[in-house]
Amino acid sequence: MSLQLEQVDLWRDGVQVLRSVSLQILPGEIHAVLGANGAGKSSVLQVLAGDLEPANGKVSLQAQALAQYDATRLARQRAVLEQASMMDFDFSVRDLLGLGRLPHALADTPTEHAAAVAWALAQCDLEPLAARPVTHLSGGQQQRAHIARVLAQLYPLHAGTPRYVLLDEPTAGLDLRHALSLLQRLRVLAAQGLGVLWISHDINLAARFADTVTLLADGEVIAQGAPDTALNADSLARCYGLPLTPIDNGKQRLWVPEAIDSE
Amino acid sequence: MVLGLCIGPVPATLNDLLAAIGITDAPGREYARTALLELRLPRVLLAAMTGATLGVCGAAIQGLFRNPLAEPGLIGVSAGAALGAVLVLVIMPAAMPGLLVPIAACFGAGATVWLVLRIARRAGRTHVATALLAGVAINAIAGASIGVLTYIADDSALRSLTFWLFGSLGRADWPMLMVAAPALLLPTLLLPRYAPALNAWLLGEDAARHLGVPTERVKRHVPLLVTLGVGAAVAATGVIGFVGLVVPHLVRTLTGPDHRHVLPASAVAGAVLLVLADATARGVATPAEVPVGLLTALLGGPFFLWLLLRRRA
């Protein structure tokens, strides 16, 4: 029971961007993917989302090949937060969240639709903004609205088969408080059975909130496992191409980069 | 509709109208009856259908480009259609009416949509600014080509040319309406079915696919229907600009941006607007008439500028 890649090779424009990548998103787990720019993080997400067909290897959801899923059925079980979400039309925040219910459009009664939207608004503390046009919000507020839209797509989390969410840098544009509040919320949702793929640039947030981390470098998995073991000076140096030093503050081990030789 | 029927060189009263449909008697006013049934009714129907089609197509194109400022005229589709029609008119004047002109207009519209989408698409994304610039270029090329064709054209072709360029409902009669109606009605009735898909499409192509929308189908069918609608509209009436821009905008201020409301409401509002515009075009300078395309451009141009200014603020 998972959303997973098995030994996936992917080429883009003649360049191999993923080399025998395997990873598994389990229901109830937050799985963070870390890596430098161009390491293949977004490619992993796109293959898991079904956007790209790998040349070799398997992509499966609940032990069934992803390609066999009908688009609407897939959309009811997994939602994707794209790297840059857009909306140039004056939908209210509430109506934007309503767009996330599209895969349920035939099944939803008006009451269920409203319940899903209300639930998603609450997840991202968006109630005060519900009636505002998205186009009038700040970048960070828009990001939260799109995260809520993606969550609305998966409501209710406990019904039937497990739900998965793929988040491409969800904390981008969020201030410290909202970033933390989002991650704490994701922990709560994971406890309710949601499987989370989280593409991140923040090693320390990943160490604190993820159950599993995968480190990518040059399209290859260089470390995978619990943050405590997978994140070490050696793997991080290979991943980011610069030395990082751990600092223990008594509660958590923080990774701090050393200065880059400017020659 | 009633207003559209009653205004014109032959004044008609409400009573004439009722007489024409056999409700009352209006002795001695048979000429009014003829004017109503043979000239004005098809004309008003054509105005309503063309307006509805342009309204829906405008709303759909704005959705497809994810930009409320796109319009079939602005991205050159109408000009492409006009060029197609004019080309046939000038080169093969003998083959003139019938089906060839509408087909050429649709072909011109289709070629333009394809070209604009092709140019504006980079790395899987449609760049609206590029599309609008491509539209400017295509408008210029089509305009110049039409200009060249007017030099080659003989007198009778020249008269129809003027008609294409300014847009007019003056050629409406029953046989023409029979040919144009299906091509105008099909997009008007089918495009609203794509409303939920277009709503999701506004989030971006990837996001729409992740919501289960068959994006390849949307990308093929919506431009195809718009092409058919705009091509047929241009074939029947020439270039009537800005209806596709102004109508969805006005509608959105009333209904919000949800395509499930915007598409059907744009059809209704487009029909009303063009019937009124045509009535005005006939009414202001009786017995002469202002080409309705000039009128919509005169009103629509400033409206577009106002939109630009408002968006900047």
> What are the sequence ranges of the domains in chain A?
3-257
Nearest chain A residue to B66 by CA distance is A88
Q: Element (H or E) spanning A60, and its range?
A: strand A56-61
Is the Cα torsion angle B246, B248, B252, B254 positive or negative in sign? positive
CB contact under 8 A, A88 and B252: no
**DSSP letter at B238?**
-
Least confident among A50-59, A83-92, B75-84, B281-290: B281-290
- What's the mean pLDDT in A4-21? 94
CB contact under 8 A, B212 and A79: no
pLDDT band for position B118 (cuts 50, 70, 90)? confident
pLDDT at residue B10 in the model: 55
For residue range A109-151, what is the model confidence (pLDDT) as tens digits?
999 999 999 999 999 999 999 999 999 999 999 999 999 999 9
pLDDT at residue B299 in the model: 84
pLDDT at residue B4 in the model: 60
Whether the pLDDT of residue B298 is over 70: the answer is: yes
Q: What is the pLDDT of chain B when averaged over all its residues?
A: 82
Complex confidence, ipTM = 0.92
- Between residues B211 and B310, the one the model is more confident about: B211
For residue range B157-198, what is the model confidence (pLDDT) as tens digits?
777 677 677 788 887 888 888 888 999 999 999 999 999 999
Output phi, psi for A102, to 5 deg.
Answer: -50, -45
pLDDT band for position B5 (cuts 50, 70, 90)? low
Size of interface A-B (CB pairs under 8 A): 71
For residue range B203-233, what is the model confidence (pLDDT) as tens digits?
988 999 999 999 888 888 898 899 889 888 9
pLDDT band for position A182 (cuts 50, 70, 90)? very high
pLDDT at residue B202 in the model: 93
Which residues of A have a CB under 8 Å from any CB of B?
49, 51, 71-76, 79-80, 82, 84-92, 95, 99-100, 102-103, 105, 146, 149, 153
State the best of B62, B210, B262, B307 to mutate against chain A, taking most chain A CBs within 10 Å: B210
- What's the mean pLDDT in B18-44? 69
Choosing among 3.40.50.300, 3.90.79.10, 3.30.365.10, 3.40.605.10, the CATH entry for A3-257 is 3.40.50.300
Whether the pLDDT of residue B52 is over 60: the answer is: yes
CB contact under 8 A, A51 and B207: no
pLDDT band for position A93 (cuts 50, 70, 90)? very high
CB contact under 8 A, B212 and A103: yes
Q: What is the DSSP string of A104-160?
A: GTTT--HHHHHHHHHHHHHHTT-GGGTTSBGGGS-HHHHHHHHHHHHHHTT-STTSS
Spell out the domains of chain B, with CATH numbers in brackets: 2-12+44-307 (1.10.3470.10)
Cis, peptide link before residue B68, omega less than 30° from 0: no
Whether the pLDDT of residue B155 is over 80: the answer is: no
Percent of chain B with pLDDT over 90: 25
Q: Element (H or E) spanning B258, and its range?
A: none
How many CB atoms are located within 10 Å of the residue B91 CB? Answer: 14
